[in-house]
Amino acid sequence: KNEVEQSPQNLTAQEGEFITINCSYSVGISALHWLQQHPGGGIVSLFMLSSGKKKHGRLIATINIQEKHSSLHITASHPRDSAVYICAVQIQGAQKLVFGQGTRLTINP
């Protein structure tokens, strides 16, 4: 079983819809990252969380440490949000990231 599981693996939605991507992990962590990867490969770090909730523009990330679960929400989705979203956890006591398999999001106009 992978230490980090994301769902769904693929998500297609219409422009304007509210999007939720989930990440569950099975290990103790010190932080969780949400990353965005566009075609071509470059990765942008969206959020780094260790507790609670963070918001940046139309993006919201939440984490529940007790339930070992995090969600990434996109409000008023737009075709430019189409990308692969990756959850990564910083394992407690270790110095490396472990990644989920990614969620491919497609927003149709």
Partner 1 sequence: KAGVTQTPRYLIKTRGQQVTLSCSPISGHRSVSWYQQTPGQGLQFLFEYFSETQRNKGNFPGRFSGRQFSNSRSEMNVSTLELGDSALYLCASSWAPRRYNSPLHFGNGTRLTVT
DSSP letter, residue 94: -
Applying CB under 8 A, which of residues 57, 66, 80, 95 lies at the interface with partner 1?
95
The residue count for binding partner 1 (CB under 8 A) is 24
96 sits near partner 1 (criterion: CB under 8 A): yes
> CB-wise, 4 or 74, nearer to partner 1?
4
In whole angstroms, give the CA distance from residue 62 to residue 65.
10
In whole angstroms, give the CA distance from residue 5 to residue 89.
11
> CB-wise, 66 or 95, nearer to partner 1?
95
Q: Measured from the CB of residue 8, what is the shortest distance to partner 1 in angstroms?
A: 16
Residue numbers 13-32 binding partner 1 by CB under 8 A: 30-31
DSSP string, 33-48: EEEEE-TTS-EEEEEE
Residue closest to 48 by CA, chosen among 66, 35, 67, 58: 35
In whole angstroms, give the CA distance from residue 1 to residue 26.
9
Binding region for partner 1 (CB under 8 A):
30-31, 33, 35, 40-45, 48, 50, 86, 88, 90, 94-102
